[in-house]
Every structure is written in structure tokens, then in C-alpha cells.
Amino acid sequence: MRGYILRRVAACVATLLFVSVLVFLVVRVLPGDPALVILGPESSREAADRLREAMGLNRPLVVQYAEWLGGAARGDLGRSIQYDVPVGRLIVSRLPVTLPLTALAAAFMLLGAVPLGVFAATRHRRAGDYAAMIFSQLGISIPQFWSGLLLILLFSVHLGWVSAGGFDGWAAGLWPGIRALLLPAVALGFFQTAVLVRATRSAVLDVLREDYVRTARAKGVAEPCVVGKHTLRNAMIPIVTVAGIQLGQLIAGSIILESVFALPGLGRLALGAITARDLPVVQGVSLFVASTIVVINFVVDVAYGFLDPRIRYD
Amino acid sequence: MRRRPLRHLTFALGGAVTVTLLATAALSLVYTPQDPLAMAIASRLEGPTRAHPFGTDQYGRDVLSRVMTGAVTSIAVGVIAVGIGAAAGIFLGLASGWAGGWVDEGFMRLVDAVQGFPAILSALLFTAVFAPGMAVSMVAIGIAFVPAFARLTRGSVLELRDREFVVAARALGAGDRRLIARHILPNTAAPLIVQATTSFPVAILAEAALAYLGLGTQPPYPSWGLMLKEAQNFLGMNPWFAIFPGGAIAATVLGLNLLGDGLRDLLDPKTV
């Protein structure tokens, strides 16, 4: 198992390096001159020269990358042009919105999708299965931001139960904070739930056809035990794979939902930074989000090793 | 056993919706009930009427005409984004699977890294340095599709490259280029077609999301996502303004998903 984990760690580090190269290349190389992107095309030549010098853009690209990567590894992602504070501190200040939103949506996804997928599989080609599949098809067809708007329309505009958006912070109390994140989390989790229901159903159906499940039933094992112990555990690999991918998608989706519900999270920080041409913030948020997704994929890979011993010896 | 596509309910339903979408987009190029860009402030934010079956927006523009024209935007972005993702992904997958060794390892780590960039994140990065617009949408969404196409192609290449017909062709003197073009690629076509079909609705959803965030299609050109962004400020005054473009996205994506599912059933021998 140690060898398997070490191999995965090495792959994860290599992937993170590629992520950093991609972020660096897009921001520093593609536009030609980041100084002009920040100052705008109407800026004077002298101002652009001064900024280029201050940002170290006159040095060789490899040196710039090594310095930027070294800083990023220490948590130093540069300084925001718009707010004049370290980018790392800005990102950390937005996490109390983005992380709970993602966690709530993930909880909705897992608590909704896995039982519903198992329910559909155990009622294959019966009414319950068709109902679950219709729910799933609808769920993956409705864009997250539209379901967010429909939830606002119903619960805020018509019923007046909650505000249409905004977040007053956790200082106001746990419940007001959760209440502000509830609708966006439902909208965010609904789409991912629909995807995971299909994956769970399909994985459980595959295992239900296995000989050992038939044997367990023939031996008189109770159905909840057949499904819970013999089936679900063996169906976990594809379920964990899809759930891991979905978790990454939830982080990306939170950028949209933060915009719909005016939540001051990472997504709004990045979108505001684009308007303000605050390249260090865009670069920092992109690196943070992409690295988080890569690390989630790494954790999923390691989880395989625990769930299925055969994978460790491949 | 021969399967008849039109007898397959999912495929037939999905096909019908897709044909309707294509017909609507084609029709909007030559005819819309009103000019989708023409403003009429006097009739702004109206609900559905005989003159405007889908109502009007905040500038009095006909929502039906804009929804029809928005279909063209969705199809254009969808087709080109899937094309970019497929081309880059198939190239990476072929090179990776065929070369093996450190090339395979390196390319796969690159693919893993690209997987860390969902369309929204790539679009954020690109928009920071380029002006937002349809081109940014196409490239950002296309990049997000690269890992799926690359992995699928690599998997097929690894499975096929040591098969007897490939070994036989090599023994007869076929070079790498011929082996890939004539023997490997045609045998990976079916799963790639299914992947392209299932990616298309995802691209439409992503285009709408990017337009909604202001990172994609820009006003005054109609895009379903952009229309929803504009509708959000008037939810209390005219909810229909948000319902029709959103319904268009959901119906289109539902139809394309059904088509993709049906196609997978028809092309996958395991489902016979």
C-alpha cells in the first residue's frame, strides 16, 4: 500500500507542476505583455516600462516562473493590485463562504444520490427506477444558475421566505449563515446529484448481476444485507470516481452560484478581479481552485487502494 | 441482432428534440417573428402576448426571436468546443497510447492537470488576458473536454495496438502513420462519437453559464445564458423573461442527453 501511495503522490506532484505551468503560461505569456493587460492599452510607454520592471517581467521566463512557483509553494501568491493586500490572504478571507457552500452541496449530493441510485437499481425497470431516472434526466438538463433563479423566484419573490441573495458572515450566527447558503447549495447540488444517481444506479446494477450476489441470496441472506454489504461495497469504485469528479465540479459550480446569489466567495473575487484587471488575483484563484481539484482527484485515487486491494498491486 | 434507431424510444425522442433545435436555428437565420435586436421601450417586460408569445425583455425586444437566434449561438459554440476538445484529446490520446513510456506518463500528467481546469476556470483565466466573447467560450469549453477524449483514445489505443490485425498489418510493412490512420482510429470511432454526442449538451450548458457570468457571448448578441443574466434583475416584474430562455436550455440539453444515451445503447454491443 505504501508503494501505491508513493506512486500516486509522485503523480500528484507532477500534475500540480503542470497546473502551475499552465496558469503561469496563460497569464504571463499568452497576452504578450501583462503590464499592458493591467494598465490597459491606453497606458503610456513609461508607465508600462515601470510596471514591467517592478513585476520583474524583464527577466528570463524560467527565472520568473521559478520565483513565482517558489512564492506559491510558501503561500505567497503576490499582491492584489485592486486591494493592495496579499492574494493568499484574500483567498483565505473568501473560503468561509465557498467551502461551506461546496460542503453543503456535496452533502446534498451524497445523501440524495447514493440512496436514490441504490433504490433505482433494486427496482430495475419498475416504477421507482423510471421515476429516479426521470429525476436524473431532468436534473442534468437544468443549468445550475437557472435552478438558482427558479429557487429565488419561488422562495424569495413569491413566498418571501428567504432573501434573494447576500451573506452577512458567520458572526451573525450559524443558522443565518446556513440559511443564506441553503438555496445556492440546493441549486449547486441538484445537478451533481442527478449525475451521481445515474452512476450509482449503473454501478449497483452491474454488481447485482454478479454470481456472489446470487449466492448470497440463495443462502438466504436478508436483502438489506445483500444490498448494503455485498453489493454497495463492491459498487463503490465507480461511485467514488464519479463523486470525486463531481466534488471538483462543485467547486467550479460554486463560482456560478456565488454570482447568482451575490455571495462574497472565491468566484466573486475572481470575477471582480477580471473587471479590475487584477491579474495576480485571477492567477492566484485559478491556481488554488485547479490545485484543489487535482488534490481531490489524488485523494480519490488513494481511496481506490483502500476500497479495492487489487488496484494496489497493478 | 439488428437494432432500429427509430424504435428506440430514448434515441427517437432525443433525435426529435435535436432536429427541432437544428430546424429552429436554421430558421432563425432566415426568419424570426421580430428583429431580435430591435428595441421597443414602450412594450418592455411584457408577459406572453399574441404579438410576443414569449414576452419581451427590458428593452422591449421579442424574447421568442432572441431564443430562436440564441440556438445558433449554442450550436456554434457547442460544435466548435467539442471539435477543439476532440481534436486535441484524440491527438494526445493517440500520441500517449502509441508512444508509451515517459511520453505516455508525461502526457497523462498533462491531461490530469488540464482536468483541474473546468470550463469556468479556463474562461476566467482567458478572460483576464483577452476580451470576453464567444471565442473564449469555445476554447475554454473545448479545453475542458480534452481529458475525456484523451483518456478514451489512449485506452482504445492500448487495447488495440497489440491485437492480431494490427500486428499483421505491421508485419506487412505498414508504418506508424498508416497503422494509426487505417487500423487504430477507425476502431476507436464508436466510443468517440458517443463521447462527442454526450459532450455537446455539456458544452451548451457551459456556454450558457459563461455567458451568464459575462465571460462568454457579449450583448447585444442573443445567448440563452446572457438572457438569463438580464432576466435576473426583473424576476419580480416579469418572471417569464427567465423561464423561456432557461426552458430552451433545459429542453435542448434534455433532448441531446437522450440522443446521446440512445446512441450509446445502439452502438454498445453489450446492450444487445
The DSSP secondary structure of A217-242, one letter per residue, reads HHTT--HHHIIIIIITTTTHHHHHHH
Mean pLDDT score of chain B: 89
Confidence band of A123 (pLDDT split at 50, 70, 90): very high
Mean pLDDT: which of A29-38, A62-71, A102-111, B259-268 is highest? A102-111
- pLDDT digit string (tens) for A274-297? 888 888 899 999 999 999 999 998
HSE-up (13 A, CA, CB side) for residue B34: 21
Confidence band of B1 (pLDDT split at 50, 70, 90): very low
pLDDT of residue A311: 65
pLDDT exceeds 80 at position B58: yes
In whole angstroms, give the CA distance from residue A204 to residue A132: 14
For residues B183-210, give the mean pLDDT. Answer: 90
Q: Tell me, rounded to whole angstroms, the distance of Cα B144 from its chain centroid.
A: 11
pLDDT of residue B2: 53
The answer to whether the Cβ–Cβ distance between A273 and B128 falls below 8 Å is yes
C-alpha cell at B140: 475554454
Which of B238, B252, B256 has the alpha carbon at shortest distance from B70?
A: B252
Residues of B in contact with A153 (CB under 8 A): 235, 239, 242
Length of chain A: 314
CB of B219 within 8 Å of a chain A CB? The answer is no
For residues B234-238, give the mean pLDDT. Answer: 86
Residues of A in contact with B227 (CB under 8 A): none
pLDDT of residue A16: 95
Residues of A in contact with B70 (CB under 8 A): none
Collapsed DSSP state (helix, strand, coil) of residue A141: helix
Q: In whole angstroms, how far apart are CA A10 and each of A6, A313, B105?
A: 6, 17, 11
pLDDT exceeds 90 at position A64: no
pLDDT exceeds 60 at position A314: no
pLDDT of residue B207: 93
C-alpha cell at A61: 521566463
Strands (E), chain B: none
Collapsed DSSP state (helix, strand, coil) of residue A79: strand
Shortest CB distance from B228 goes to which of A15, A31, A149?
A149
Amino acid (one-letter) located at A122 = T
CB of B214 within 8 Å of a chain A CB? The answer is yes
CB of A280 within 8 Å of a chain B CB? The answer is no
Backbone phi and psi for residue A105, each to the nearest 5 degrees, phi listed first: -65, -40
For residues B117-139, give the mean pLDDT. Answer: 88
For residues B131-136, give the mean pLDDT. Answer: 88
C-alpha cell at A52: 514591467
If contacts are CB pairs under 8 Å, which of residues 4-43 in chain A contact chain B? 11, 14-16, 18-19, 21-23, 26-27, 30-31, 34, 37
Mean pLDDT score of chain A: 88
For residues A228-247, give the mean pLDDT. Answer: 86
What percent of chain B is predicted at pLDDT more than 70?
A: 96
In whole angstroms, give the CA distance from residue B256 to residue B198: 7
In whole angstroms, give the CA distance from residue B156 to residue B145: 17
Confidence band of B4 (pLDDT split at 50, 70, 90): low
Rounded to 10 deg, the angle between the A236-260 and B185-213 helix axes is 30
pLDDT exceeds 80 at position B131: yes
pLDDT exceeds 80 at position B156: yes
B75: closest CA of chain A, how far (Å): 16
pLDDT exceeds 80 at position B151: yes
For residues B239-260, give the mean pLDDT. Answer: 92
Confidence band of A30 (pLDDT split at 50, 70, 90): low
In whole angstroms, give the CA distance from residue A144 to residue B120: 13
Confidence band of A112 (pLDDT split at 50, 70, 90): very high
Which of B83, B271, B97, B79 has the alpha carbon at shortest distance from B187?
A: B97
- pLDDT digit string (tens) for B25-43? 999 999 999 999 889 888 8
pLDDT exceeds 70 at position A8: yes
pLDDT of residue B269: 57
Residues of A in contact with B239 (CB under 8 A): 153, 157
- Residue A170 DSSP label: G
B101: closest CA of chain A, how far (Å): 14
Residues of A in contact with B251 (CB under 8 A): 141
The answer to whether the Cβ–Cβ distance between B129 and A146 falls below 8 Å is no
What ipTM does this complex have? 0.85
Beta-bridge partner residues of B56:
B62
Lowest average pLDDT, out of A28-42, A58-72, A229-243, B52-66, goes to A28-42
For residues A148-167, give the mean pLDDT. Answer: 88
pLDDT of residue B5: 65
pLDDT exceeds 90 at position A312: no
For residues A120-129, give the mean pLDDT. Answer: 92
pLDDT exceeds 90 at position A31: no
- pLDDT digit string (tens) for B13-26? 999 999 999 999 99
pLDDT exceeds 90 at position A246: no
pLDDT of residue A208: 92
pLDDT exceeds 50 at position B209: yes
Which of B232, B167, B36, B258 has the alpha carbon at shortest distance from A153?
A: B232
Backbone phi and psi for residue B62, each to the nearest 5 degrees, phi listed first: -75, 120
In whole angstroms, give the CA distance from residue B54 to residue B36: 12
Shortest CB distance from A26 goes to which of B113, B129, B201?
B129
pLDDT of residue B231: 92
CB of A157 within 8 Å of a chain B CB? The answer is yes
Is the N-terminal amide bond of A264 cis, ω within 30° of 0?
no
For residue B213, what are the contacts with CB-CB under 8 A and spacing of at least 6? A255, A256, A259, A271, B120, B123, B229
In whole angstroms, give the CA distance from residue B188 to residue A142: 31
Contact of A134 with B9, CB cutoff 8 Å: no
pLDDT exceeds 60 at position B170: yes
pLDDT exceeds 70 at position A32: no
pLDDT of residue B89: 95
Collapsed DSSP state (helix, strand, coil) of residue B62: strand
CB of B112 within 8 Å of a chain A CB? The answer is yes
Lowest average pLDDT, out of A47-56, A133-142, A304-313, goes to A304-313
